[in-house]
Structure 1
Amino acid sequence: MGFTRVRTNKAGKERYTALYRDQRGKVRSAGTFSGYDQAEKAWQRAEAKQELGRTADPRKGRQRFRVYVEDVWFPNHVIELRTRENYDYEITRYIMPWFGGMRMIDILPIDVREWVTHLSNECVNPPTIRYCMTVLSAIFTTALNDQVIVLHPCKGVKTPPVPKKKRTILTPEQYEVFHETLPNSRMQLLVDVDIETGLRWGEVTELRAKDFDLATRTITVSRVVIELAPKHRPQDGRFHVKHYPKDKEHRSVRVSAQTAKRIAAHIEAESLGDEDLLFSLRPEERARPRRLRVLTDPESLGFIEPENRYRHGTLSGYSAAKCRCQSCKDVYADYRARRRAAGKDSPRRPRTVNTDGHIPRSWFRDHVWKPTLKAAKLRLHARPNDLRHAHASWLLAGGADLQKVKERLGHASITTTEKYLHTLPDEDDETLDAFDKIRNRSRNTEVSRATG
């Protein structure tokens, strides 16, 4: 049973605090109010809400989808931080605008089918629709277990098919060209360690000197680092270190003698301690270069509608006409930059990469990976994660045991490892040779008859 407590503030006015007991008997506050009646209603609402979540009350199904997800499901759903970030984006972007105002008990399979059709008509790609369906199904599964609903609306609802795309696998020849084009020996060592061990990006960038054992030439994978958006970051900032890999099992990966010597030499040259990152972003690499803007001649851009007084790509177009096209924003940004450089405005501090020493995935992709692919003139769409794919494919093409490859990569299922079988471009050569052997059999017979 709740109650109201009266107290007097410093100004001598009476304030009323609404109190109630939770399921464990602990006294909790439902707020402080200026009137007694307001406080009484507040603790009564808090108790009713508490009972609504505990008993098989039909009113639970009448709560709105938005209220259930934001107040009950999402805060208490145990998921990884990176997964929580992805879930939050998909819910906000695709799910909540459609279902947010609906009552939980009113959502039926037909509503989910209409939602899927709506996403398809909005040109949302099939993988995104399938992922959104996974999130939505998880919400309704929990609601079903909580006795909020009696029917799972996602059961039997199909999403557009997602075609399986062929993996991009770097061949050894392509890798050699790529490796030689990398900007420095430190990045060459990072890429060599990645492709020789098959570690995930968060695993290889979290490696520390203590994880390498020169005597046995092994690298112990016991942690992974993830990057999070500001909304979902814990107190330790942009990078969050989990003390277990993705499969939640520590593993050891052995490297070649040559690579082991290079790692040991790198640790000695950099004077790395046991807790220091094996590969880190140096201070001189953290500065962000000034963006180069190509300003377009305003005479070629035309006037801003509807005034027809100001042109695009001019300061007056940005300030007076309030135009925010890219040409107007570029000319205004250039104007501000020139004023700061001349000391007329408060100069900004140089922009730097937000990092605690870990190499951000985006920095590596934009400053190392893409420029190297372009300089090496490799006409293929490859990502840093494709080094891991190449590692698995090369091992299996070389005759390595499937189970050993699974353990080395840290796959939870051997089915995942099997996907790398016969993925190199030249894997079909034996099949073509067999085809040519049968195809040319008649020609060989005619030649032997003619010579016989």
Structure 2
Amino acid sequence: MASIHKTPSGKWQVRYRDGSGKIRAKTFKYKYKKAGTDEWAEKFKNEVEQSLTDGSYIAAERGAVDVPAWVQQHLDSRVDIGVTTKNRTQGIINTHIEPKWSTVRLSEVEHGDIAAWVKDLLETQSVRSVKKIVGVLSAAFEAAVRDRRVHNNPCKGIKYPKVTPQRRIYLSAEQVEQLAAATLDDRQKLIVYTLAYSGLRWGELAGLRVQDFDPLRRRLNVEQTIVDDNGKMLVKPPKTHEIRSVPVPKFLVEMIAAHIVGMDPDDLIFTSVRGEPLRNRNERGRWFDQAAKGIGIPDLTPHKLRNTAASMAISAGASVLSVQRMLGHESATVTLDVYAELFEDDLDEVAERLDSVRADVRVREMFVTPIREGESN
């Protein structure tokens, strides 16, 4: 399948036909193993014959594309991610991947190169941020493996320092009232109440239309989301592409009903003071961040009010499935992974119920006299 020939210059050339029948050649200084080098003709001959036999052969030019070019191509081809994720990924490519790997080919990247890069990144980035950065490169390498450009993903198996999980912020009902009171007008108060008691994402809140509000059933129907694509507001499907119905407490139904008086069905329920779609950055800068600081919780963000909604729902007796549907999680498993700590009280209740079950059995046994052998009723 492959042969070794000595060239006029005294070097050794391995010639072979690849899987498509094309004749290829690679030249080496040594025919056999020599101290100080990992490349010699006999070794390459054996490796290429083995790869052609087992079907793992990859032509050198397949992995010759520069890393940033392939990562960009992979991102541009993805249709499974939303605008926000795509913009965030593009930022990672521009800021971290392009400067580091601009002159490096896919086939040249080794696991040790990634490990050294991670070490450098950790000097200026948090562990969480570094994982996201490397995750972008890793996803592109996985695509390269599937596309038969490289044999494996060098990002696999990278070790990271252990970090203390971030503390989630759960507001009490009293703190929600304080936050609402710290706002500047009724529009802002309604935004706070809706986020805290419905668990909507910001884009879902921004996308709510009058027709999505069902006061009789006390529901908000999430059918679209509005996202900020580098300054351009786009209407998109919900994050999981599934329309869902979110329960709304009576007091909030009354507030929303009063707010939409005179509006048309297609009108957005929540807009800026100028009547434009809500922009998270603008609303935070104008009033939300100041209100959060005013109640002594400067780290609070609109998105983190989802935690409060989940906490209050669970405290009110909502099941995992109900919370999952309310928040729009992909599965109940995701809900448990995120909010397992909130269900710990349920375990205490389970133990108490099990105690009650056994106690009931013991009580029944006290009033039942066993019939001895030979006796009759």
TM-score, normalized by length of structure 2? 0.71
2:149 is paired with a residue whose SS is: coil
Q: CA deviation at 1:80?
A: 2.1
Q: CA deviation at 1:262?
A: 2.1
Question: 1:272 matched to which residue of 2?
Answer: 263
Question: 1:129 matched to which residue of 2?
Answer: 130
2:154 is paired with a residue whose SS is: coil
2:235 is paired with a residue whose SS is: strand
Q: CA deviation at 1:226?
A: 1.1
Instruction: Check the 8 A contact 1:405/1:417 in 2, yes or no.
Output: yes
Question: 1:368 matched to which residue of 2?
Answer: 287
CA distance in 1, matches of 2:296, 2:156: 46
Question: 1:155 matched to which residue of 2?
Answer: 156
1:253 is paired with a residue whose SS is: strand
Equivalent residues in 2 for 1:245-260 (5 A)?
Answer: 245-260=238-253
1:130 is paired with a residue whose SS is: helix
Residues 1:225 and 1:107: Cα distance change in structure 2 (over 3 Å): same
Tell me if 1:119 matches 2:113. no
Equivalent residues in 2 for 1:90-105 (5 A)?
Answer: 90-105=92-107
2:299 is paired with a residue whose SS is: coil
2:84 to 79, 82, 85: 82
CA distance in 2, matches of 1:139, 1:379: 39
| Number of residue pairs matched by the alignment | 291
Question: 1:106 matched to which residue of 2?
Answer: 108
1:240 to 225, 228, 234: 234
Tell me if 1:378 matches 2:296. yes
Residues 1:396 and 1:402: Cα distance change in structure 2 (over 3 Å): same
Deviations 1:175-201 (A, max 9, x none): 222222221122212221222211111
Q: CA deviation at 1:142?
A: 0.8
Question: 2:13 matched to which residue of 1?
Answer: none
Question: 2:19 matched to which residue of 1?
Answer: none
Amino acid in structure 2 at the alignment position of 1:240: L
Equivalent residues in 2 for 1:177-326 (5 A)?
Answer: 177-229=178-230, 238-242=232-236, 244-268=237-261, 271-283=262-274
Amino acid in structure 2 at the alignment position of 1:281: S
Q: CA deviation at 1:417?
A: 2.1
Instruction: Check the 8 A contact 2:63/2:106 in 1, yes or no.
Output: yes
CA distance in 2, matches of 1:69, 1:227: 23
Instruction: Check the 8 A contact 1:226/1:239 in 2, yes or no.
Output: yes
CA distance in 2, matches of 1:169, 1:134: 29
CA distance in 1, matches of 2:70, 2:248: 50
Amino acid in structure 2 at the alignment position of 1:164: P
Residues 1:373 and 1:75: Cα distance change in structure 2 (over 3 Å): closer
Where does the alignment leave 5 or more consecutive residues of structure 2 unmatched?
Answer: 1-56, 349-377
CA distance in 2, matches of 1:74, 1:215: 44
Q: CA deviation at 1:56?
A: 5.7
Question: 2:176 matched to which residue of 1?
Answer: 175
**Identity percentage of aligned residues:** 29
Q: CA deviation at 1:379?
A: 4.6
CA distance in 1, matches of 2:289, 2:70: 44
Question: 1:304 matched to which residue of 2?
Answer: none
1:205 is paired with a residue whose SS is: helix
Q: CA deviation at 1:168?
A: 1.0
2:174 is paired with a residue whose SS is: helix
CA distance in 1, matches of 2:318, 2:71: 47
CA distance in 2, matches of 1:64, 1:280: 45
Residues 1:189 and 1:75: Cα distance change in structure 2 (over 3 Å): closer
Amino acid in structure 2 at the alignment position of 1:279: F
Amino acid in structure 1 at the alignment position of 2:90: D
Instruction: Check the 8 A contact 2:320/2:335 in 1, yes or no.
Output: yes
Amino acid in structure 2 at the alignment position of 1:165: Q
CA distance in 1, matches of 2:220, 2:243: 11
CA distance in 2, matches of 1:151, 1:255: 50
Q: CA deviation at 1:124?
A: 1.5
Instruction: Check the 8 A contact 1:198/1:389 in 2, yes or no.
Output: yes
Deviations 1:149-187 (A, max 9, x none): 122211222233343112011112212222222211222
CA distance in 2, matches of 1:204, 1:97: 37
Amino acid in structure 2 at the alignment position of 1:411: H
CA distance in 1, matches of 2:90, 2:64: 23
Deviations 1:276-325 (A, max 9, x none): 11011123xxxxxxxxxxxxxxxxxxxxxxxxxxxxxxxxxxxxxxxxxx
1:412 to 330, 345, 355: 330
2:320 to 377, 386, 402: 402
Residues 1:371 and 1:155: Cα distance change in structure 2 (over 3 Å): closer
